[in-house]
Amino acid sequence: MSIPLVIATSSHQQGLVQALVDGRVALPGCEARFVSLTPGDNVLLTRTFDDPTFNVAELSLSKYVSRHDAGDCPYIAIPVFIARSFRHGDIYVRTDRGIRSPADLRGRRVGTGDFRHTAHVWVRALLEEEYGVRPSDVRWVVGHREKSYDPGADMFVPPRGVSIETAPAALSQMLESGEIDALLSPLTPSCVTSNAPDVGQLFADPEAAALEHFSRSGLFPILHLMGVRKELAERHPGLPGVLLEAFTQAKDDWLAASDLSANRTARAMGGDFYAYGLGRRERAALSTFLAHHHRQGLSGRQLAVEELFTPIGSPGPTASINRDGAGVGSILMS
């Protein structure tokens, strides 16, 4: 009897899963339906965790670690790192405040989305490790990039010494008016796209800065990973291995069909730069994230990498692939 699966991924990852969706990569022993989620506020922070419709889903790494640490996570992860990207382009500043380097953010008022978002954890880790700017060195203003913000009952309580206040207005508006000195945002704020005066990115060439950092550290940030509902993995212990192999084949199929010759990031990183599994680089990225997640007050203890994942032993039936499908386009690294 086939295992019924409802697999939820963000529409941003469509290329990575397309060979699964259209059947070129099969999931033996499974009857899968794929749901493409439109990214938005808290889709990967809440919906994929709370909606019982999904039994395999793309998850926020930060939220997963927090829930796993608290002992109330309904998922167990598999090492399919479906969203990865450098975060050097996330830092926007007032260009009239003398902020020339990340070190100049010390003592500044810096806007940020939800303090627990994975991308923000990575930026704060970058600031601390590379430039000596600890979270306690910054006055954080938590809000929404383009609208008013209501933290509700789920307001994050920061660790001792970290200053957090709630933004009274949209963060983009506050950056444009000069009420904050800088803003962390995975998406370009409207004050920048509208060419407002005296605002811009901190790094003139974020891609070059990211690649220079990668050349020294070997770190390629992991943002999201795939999870399987615990009860499903317990009933079908071979399923996580089948999913890992199938998602890996779909990703490899997409990359093989993509023209990466003009992609500076892909060329510079080389090899299987978007690797799944627990290779050396993936372990290093996860270990770094887990250390900073704990240090930033988001988990009660520093988890070990192995704690995050289901043991994958004998995977059962092997995923099969039919490579006669059409190409899936090009990859863009942010």
pLDDT tens track for 140-194 = 999 999 999 887 756 678 888 999 999 999 999 999 999 999 999 999 999 999 9
Over residues 314-326, the pLDDT tens digits come to: 344 444 444 333 3
Over residues 259-280, the pLDDT tens digits come to: 887 788 888 888 788 999 999 9
Residue 140 has φ and ψ, to the nearest 5°, of: -85, 135
Report the alpha-carbon distance of residue 119 to residue 60 in Å, rounded: 10
Report the alpha-carbon distance of residue 47 to residue 40 in Å, rounded: 10
Q: Are residues 128 and 208 in the same domain?
A: yes
Are 78 and 226 in contact, with CB atoms under 8 Å apart?
yes
Q: Are residues 204 and 273 in the same domain?
A: no
Q: Are residues 162 and 249 in the same domain?
A: no
pLDDT of residue 153: 58
- Please give the average per-residue pLDDT across 88-97, as a whole number: 98
Report the alpha-carbon distance of residue 129 to residue 132 in Å, rounded: 6
| 316 is a domain residue | no
pLDDT of residue 263: 85
Residue 333 Rama label (left phi>0; alpha psi -120 to 50; beta): beta
Three-state secondary structure call for residue 112? strand
| 271 is a domain residue | yes
Average pLDDT, the chain: 89
Over residues 2-56, the pLDDT tens digits come to: 999 999 998 888 899 999 999 999 999 999 999 998 876 566 667 788 888 999 9
Report the alpha-carbon distance of residue 86 to residue 70 in Å, rounded: 28
Q: Are residues 58 and 135 in the same domain?
A: no
Q: Are residues 100 and 62 in the same domain?
A: no
- Nearest-5° Cα angle at 87, 85 to 91: 155
Name the residue range of residue 187's domain.
88-217
For residue 142, the surrounding DSSP H or E stretch is strand 139-142
pLDDT of residue 332: 34
Over residues 103-113, the pLDDT tens digits come to: 999 999 999 99
pLDDT of residue 313: 44
Does this model's pTM top 0.85?
Answer: yes
Report the alpha-carbon distance of residue 106 to residue 112 in Å, rounded: 15
Report the alpha-carbon distance of residue 103 to residue 97 in Å, rounded: 13
Q: Are residues 58 and 115 in the same domain?
A: no
The number of residues making up the chain comes to 334
Answer with the one of 191, 217, 243 that is the final residue of a domain. Answer: 217
What percent of the chain stands above pLDDT 90?
Answer: 76
- Please give the average per-residue pLDDT across 121-138, as a whole number: 97
Answer with the one of 159, 186, 217 that is the final residue of a domain. Answer: 217
